[in-house]
Amino acid sequence: MEGKLDSIKVRFEEIERQLSDPDTIADQKMFRELNKEHSQLSPVVTRYTEYLNLTKSLKDSKELLETEKDTEMKEMLQEEIAALQQKIDDLNEKLIIMLLPKDPNSGKDVIMEIRAGTGGDEAALFATDLFRMYTRYAEVKGWKVELLEANTNELGGYKEVSFSIKSPEVYDHLKFESGVHRVQRVPETEASGRIHTSAVTVAVLPEAEEDEIDIDPNDIRTDVYRSSGHGGQSVNTTDSAVRITHIPTGMVVTCQDEKSQIKNKAKALRVLKARLLEKITDERMAKESEMRKSQVGSGDRSERIRTYNYPQSRMTDHRIGLTLYSLDKVMEGEINDIIEALKKAEIDALLKTIK
């Protein structure tokens, strides 16, 4: 492990030299890539430097112990050695985790898409609840949320909603949310008080970085039309809504949230690039079957990942067998315990692949 960490340290120092080179600064693409790599390696190098300092202190203390004659001083040295060894062991575990294979999308912003599934109006209302849950979570984290597109029903529930969240941390935290979210509760629209089961699909798409996805203008068809609100009522009198069709894949993206046609087109292209990146990633992951097996359900939208049971105030994540009886807090955005448990499960699964 130390050999690999030494190589990382050398690479880190080389990047620092390159980042101060005027030629690198002039090449913005190279500068961005190196800066990203620098930020990824920095925590590892910091921990490794601490590890090296502790091992040197341990070596010095052991040498002193061999020559020390005073009984009281020997006891103090033995306590110091034990404490240093514990710190080194703890750091060693953290470094092993830091050296695990990184998700290629780590550090990216995300576009989240929430769609009502089985359950009609009730599913749309729950989609709204999930949208609120994620935006509240993002607010607490200090992440920037931007609404991209929303399609509501007459009750104000989202039949589908897409939004972006910007932060270097967001993908690593929310990538596990892709899948089917099932809700069990008495719908507001149900007069007889029976518990219904509805489902909502969530997709977490890493945003494509500049130059990562190149779309040939000849491969897309752009249609413009008039934006509309609830019940088809006109929102404005200009053709500002945009529908983009990617001809090779048949993907269709619409956006009418902005009053400007140019802004709507820009947003739609962001979503299209994210979906194309997801398609490429899925194809790559299908080939890397072993990596797919080690994942904790962080991509398959058809997988039922979670159940929200309102009568029992229970949330169950089926992938890791986690059950919490604090649904009210979960729906207010307090999902950090769930996220951390999923991250730990992913690390444990990855550790098994290298043991």
Residue 296 has pLDDT above 50, yes or no: yes
pLDDT in tens, 159-203: 999 999 999 899 999 999 999 999 999 987 676 778 899 999 999
pLDDT at 238: 63
> How far apart, in Å, are the Cα atoms of 235 and each of 160, 230, 231, 238, 269?
18, 9, 11, 9, 22
State the CB neighbour count (10 A cutoff) for residue 89: 9
* pLDDT higher than 70, residue 217: yes
Per residue in 64-117, pLDDT (tens digit) is 999 988 999 999 999 999 999 999 999 998 898 888 888 888 889 999 999 999
Query: Which conformational region is residue 178 in: left (phi greater than 0), alpha (psi within -120 to 50 degrees), or beta?
Result: beta
pLDDT category, 354, cuts 50, 70, 90? Answer: low
pLDDT at 145: 96
Distance in angstroms (rounded) separating the CA atoms of residues 134 and 111: 12
- Residue range 312-348, pLDDT digits in tens: 999 999 999 999 999 999 999 999 999 999 999 998 8
- pLDDT above 60: residue 16: yes
Report the alpha-carbon distance of residue 281 to residue 205 in Å, rounded.
Answer: 10
250-291 pLDDT, tens per residue? Answer: 999 999 878 888 999 999 999 999 999 888 887 876 766 554
pLDDT of residue 287: 66
Instruction: Please tell me the distance from the alpha carbon of residue 229 to that of residue 256, in angstroms, as a whole number.
Output: 10
- Supply the pTM of this predicted model: 0.75
